[in-house]
A = this chain, B = another copy of it.
């Protein structure tokens, strides 16, 4: 079964405080021009998206510098829904089995999607948990929250720790509770944008 791990983006979607506004402009309509055409305008970190190392690392890779097969892989989701700071112990549990290519963190913070509180109130990794993850051969790390760092951590220490290892960060995921029971295949193809520091993506789980 395919599960959509992406939020729907619309004219009403809230963006991360300070990010450029999201616009859907009707450029042509059936009634006037005989066809529909829309102009979309959004920041690279809008909605469900993938951060490239170049988002925060000066010489970091942009998304188009990764081979296409970096965006598909074996994945599993870790239940982090009962904690404010994700402890190293939870990550150690994963290390006991086969290391996945993508690890997703289910925090249930996506229940606040569509409210201002979504951008303030979410769990993050402890320093030790982030160190453990940065040492794993992951393709990507995902979360159903707006960021891997708290809003006040404006130097983005957790982002940098992970991105420095060429591990992609998947943010604003949703429906991760539907992927808790067993490993699955993750698809997270970004748009093919030259030099992208991040990209909206239709991120999907294929469960067996």
Using CB atoms and an 8 Å cutoff, list the residues of chain A in contact with chain B.
2-4, 6-11, 19-20, 23-25, 27, 30, 34-45, 47-48, 54-56, 58, 64, 68-69, 71-72, 154-156, 187, 189-198, 200-202, 204
* Residues in B whose Cβ lies below 8 Å from that of A37: 19-20, 43-45, 55, 197-198
- Please tell me how many copies of the chain the complex holds: 2
A146 vs chain B, min Cβ distance (A): 14
Chain B residue nearest to A63 (CB atoms) is B202
Asked whether, in the complex, the Cβ of B43 is within 8 Å of the Cβ of A30, the reply is no
Q: Which of A47, A187, A198, A202 has the most CB of B within 10 A?
A: A202
> Contacts A27-B20, A34-B155, A36-B54 known; A10 to B193 CB distance under 8 Å?
yes
